[in-house]
Amino acid sequence: MKILRFLVFGLISVGPLWCATVRLCAQDAKDAGNEKQTEKAPAPAEAKSYSGMYSFLKDGEFVQLTVEDDGSITGFISRYGDGDSDKGAFLDQFFKAGKLERNKLSFTTQMVHGVTFDFQGTVERGEGKNAGDEAYYVLKGTLTQNVSDANKKVNSHSRPVEFKKFPQDAAPPAVGRN
């Protein structure tokens, strides 16, 4: 009988303490999982700050990137034409599709004069010290240029790229557009 009272008394006194410990451990494990998730996912305000103008392949060319509320990407590439019919002309190629998941970025442009671009990469912090500085963010990844000839044969060329964000107070280059 004394043993039974001792066990009942022990469970009554230690039970709530044990349950509280288990709850705290479970909460700590849950919080640790959330911390790992938030380290990878940028805050919505930070993702929005990825929006802006980035360098492209040549001086005077640029990528305009806008992060929408739903994580989709809109924008365009402004570049000089390379073909016989558009050599030196300034061309705008709007995004056909774009997506941002955490810091992983991808976009595909519409075809202009037989050329499309695909980008697969990331948005990363660059060498800029303050949010308005040049290269505060950089787009790093692989750019694939797809060129379709008159016979509809597509030649693709991929290369690693790094596009630096322009300073916030900079205006786009003053060049005529087509």
**So what CATH class is 45-164?**
mainly beta
pTM for the model stands at 0.69
Span 46-103, pLDDT tens digits = 788 899 999 999 999 999 999 988 878 999 999 998 877 788 889 999 999 999 998 9
What sections of the chain are H helices per DSSP? 2-40, 44-49
Q: What is the pLDDT of residue 8?
A: 47
Cα 149 to chain centroid distance, Å, stands at 32
CB burial of 64-85 (b: ≥16 within 10 Å; e: otherwise) equals bbebeeeeebebbbbbbbbeee
Span 106-161, pLDDT tens digits = 999 999 999 999 999 999 999 999 988 999 999 999 999 999 988 889 999 999 99
Our CA dihedral for 62, 114, 97, 155, rounded to 10 degrees, sits at -100
Q: What are the residue boundaries of the structural domains of the chain, listed by start?
A: 1-40, 45-164
Q: Which of 78, 79, 123 is nearest to 105 (CA)?
A: 123
Name the strand (E) or helix (H) holding 75: strand 73-80
**Look-up: residue for tokens 């810091």?**
103
Q: Which of 169, 113, 175 is nearest to 145 (CA)?
A: 113
pLDDT tier, 169 (very low <50, low <70, confident <90, very high otherwise): low
Q: What is the pLDDT of residue 23?
A: 44
